[in-house]
Amino acid sequence: MATNKVKSDIMINIYVLGFDQALASAITGVIDLFALAGVTWNRIQQQNTAMAFNVQLASHQGNNIRCINNLQLGAHCSFESLFDQFENEQLCENSLNSNPINNILIVPTIGGPIQQALDNNPELISLLNKAHQAGWTIAGNCTGNFLLAEAGILDGKSATTHWGFATEFQQRYPQINLQADQLITRDENIFCAGGGIAWFDLGLHIIERNVDFETAMQTAKAFVIDYRRDSQLSYSLMRIAKPHQDEMVKSIQAKIEKDCTTALSIEALAVEHNVSQRTLIRRFNSALGMPPNTYLQSVRIEHARKMLEESDFNIDTIMNNIGYEDSSSFRRLFKKKTGLTPTEYRNRFSRRL
């Protein structure tokens, strides 16, 4: 695989944008990752260290920030100093800092109420706008991507966020191409990472792009973390039971959930509820955002997930217990819904007694 080498010997500047009620680990963890890329592995191998990044925590007016866990972190620099840097770059096009490829902003996870974070951080949102105009690389993690969206820099672009906040994100920002199943998205110079500790996936991706694949892999090994995860489907709860007021659909849902192994006949259900097949499908789509057969599939796969997590049944037994007979069809559908094969899912999520 071809690697993406840094095109100069200039150290890359990474500014993590801190704010009150941010997730502490999404700040300290990513700072550790970048600061020790080319360092920890080299020490283990008794080689000379080779730092690739100059990592700083920035905040409004350089103030300390209080994270959601009440940990207070001191900033290295201020948002205002970065605004000054944008102006200096415009005046000094030939300066070392004028190359936008050498400057990266990282927005960590919002740990508190999202609306509160958006209301309380106008300076950060303005900074993202300015950095985008200057051509800097910008990367957001998890719910931190709401701040990127609020700045308008994701409009018309692909993005991801924590799977649990995907519906809210999509409702707030319909102009953004949300790919909530993806762990990492990239559109031009903007990167988004999915939920929780996806900051390490984001960090390793940035290391690979700005240094090389070998350094990213060595950093992953030194930190003992998996590299190249590409989906958060396996971690998400399936959205199969959103609230609604359609009593007919509720009745059919209850029937499916009582026995998901039953073959579903749209024709029989329509006759039973004295509606046309077209009306039944339309009402299911309106209430749940999916037709009856897709709902049945989702319920079955959710049952399979629970059995893989909690039981020792072999996969064929689980398949039969949820109403499938074709092994290849079941395995294909399971991977489509979760991003993993049944065996991979069990290995990752089963109980360890």
Cβ-contact 57, 76 below 8 angstroms: yes
* Cα 148 from Cα 332, distance rounded (Å): 35
* Cα 173 from Cα 282, distance rounded (Å): 26
* Cα 104 from Cα 215, distance rounded (Å): 18
- How is domain 12-235 classified at the CATH fold level? Rossmann fold (3.40.50)
In 3D, which of 280, 215, 181, 169 has the Cα closest to residue 33? 215
* Cα 27 from Cα 8, distance rounded (Å): 27
* Cα 273 from Cα 248, distance rounded (Å): 7
> Tokens 């950095």, residue?
131
The total of other beta-carbon atoms located within 10 Å of residue 331's CB is 16
> Mind listing the pLDDT tens digit of every residue in the chain (353 residues)?
333 444 445 679 999 999 999 999 999 999 999 999 989 888 888 888 888 899 999 999 999 999 999 999 999 999 999 988 876 765 444 444 445 558 999 999 999 999 999 999 999 999 999 999 988 999 999 999 999 999 999 999 999 999 889 999 999 999 999 988 888 888 889 999 988 788 888 898 899 888 888 888 888 888 888 766 665 655 555 555 566 788 999 888 888 888 888 777 888 889 989 999 999 999 999 988 889 888 888 888 888 988 888 888 999 999 998 888 899 999 999 988 888 899 988 887 776 55
* Cα 353 from Cα 340, distance rounded (Å): 23
Q: What token pair was written down for 334?
A: 């399971």
309-318 long-range CB contacts below 8 Å, 24 or more apart? 309/346, 309/349, 309/350, 309/351, 310/350, 310/351, 315/342, 315/343, 315/346, 318/342
* Cα 210 from Cα 104, distance rounded (Å): 10
Distance between the two ends of the chain, CA-based, in angstroms? 40
Sorted by sequence, the CB contacts under 8 Å of residue 143 that are 6+ apart come out as: 109, 110, 114, 161, 162, 165
Q: Which DSSP symbol is given to 22?
A: B
- Domain residue spans of the chain: 12-235, 247-349
- Tell me the pTM: 0.69
Cβ-contact 219, 207 below 8 angstroms: yes
Cβ-contact 108, 17 below 8 angstroms: yes
Assigned CATH for 247-349: 1.10.10.60
Beta-bridged to residue 106, according to DSSP, are 16, 139
17 sits in which H/E element: strand 12-17
